[in-house]
């Protein structure tokens, strides 16, 4: 996957997709980032390993390489850290290494925090949504898929709330 062309902070937004998976093979316990340089490994969405990669001749890597060739490789587990704008690899270091050695795109599973904002119930808003839907149905302005029949309008669909 390609690194994004620009750096943009978006706290609380969906994360950047993971990219530069080959960075997993270059474990660095510490590094310096220049946020203005155009280095893909430093852009948001980079995957950061938590340990050094295993040797390519290791038995586990050989076993995972076979699974990668068969297409049965389980996904690696990533956690998005909003403050860094990067993905931490929690599990699957050897699986990603094996997939990259085989020239395959490894399956990934990402976790990231979601902030849910609750709106208080509003009878006016609910009634407005129902009235708007009924108007669109009656006018025939809703989009139907290919070959789909237009929806049937039931008279008195919206109950009036006093």
What digits encode the pLDDT tens for the residues 91-100? Answer: 999 999 999 9
Q: Name the β-bridge partners of 134.
A: none
Beta strands in the chain (DSSP E): 47-48, 76-81, 86-91, 108-111
Surface-to-core class of residue 162, CB atoms within 10 Å of its CB (0-12 exposed, 13-18 middle, 19+ buried): exposed
Percent of the chain with pLDDT over 90: 30
Question: Phi then psi for 135, rounded to 5 degrees?
Answer: -65, -45
User: Whole-prediction pTM value?
Assistant: 0.60
Are 151 and 124 contained in the same domain?
Answer: yes
Which has more pLDDT, 103 or 156?
103
pLDDT computed for residue 109 by the predictor: 92
Residue 58 lies in a domain: yes
Q: Which residue has the tokens 């990669």?
A: 53
Surface-to-core class of residue 16, CB atoms within 10 Å of its CB (0-12 exposed, 13-18 middle, 19+ buried): buried
Residue 12 lies in a domain: no
Which has more pLDDT, 100 or 41?
100
Q: How far apart are CA 10 and CA 13, in angstroms?
A: 5
Residue 35 contacts residue 7 (beta carbons within 8 Å): yes
Are 48 and 82 contained in the same domain?
Answer: yes
Are 87 and 26 contained in the same domain?
Answer: yes
Which has more pLDDT, 134 or 142?
134
Q: How confident is the model at residue 61 (pLDDT cuts 50, 70, 90)?
A: very high
Residue 7 lies in a domain: no
**Does position 12 have pLDDT exceeding 90, yes or no?**
no
The boundaries of the domain holding residue 25 are 21-111
Tokens, residue 117: 């904002």
Tokens, residue 6: 């620009």
């Amino acid at each position: 996957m390609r690194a994004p062309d620009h750096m943009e902070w978006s706290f609380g937004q969906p994360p950047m997709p993971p990219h530069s998976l080959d960075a997993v093979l270059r474990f660095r316990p510490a590094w310096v980032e220049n946020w203005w340089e155009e280095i893909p490994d430093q852009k948001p969405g980079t995957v950061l390993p938590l340990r050094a990669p295993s040797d390519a001749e290791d038995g586990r890597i050989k076993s995972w390489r076979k699974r990668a060739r068969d297409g049965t490789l389980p996904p690696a587990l990533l956690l998005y850290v909003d403050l860094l704008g990067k993905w931490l690899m929690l599990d699957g270091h050897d699986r990603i290494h094996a997939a990259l050695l085989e020239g395959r795109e490894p399956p990934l599973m990402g976790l990231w925090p979601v902030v849910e904002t609750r709106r208080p119930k509003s009878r006016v808003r609910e009634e407005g949504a129902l009235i708007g839907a009924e108007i669109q149905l009656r006018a025939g302005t809703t989009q139907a898929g290919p070959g789909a029949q237009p929806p049937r309008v039931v008279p008195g669909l919206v109950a009036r709330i006093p």
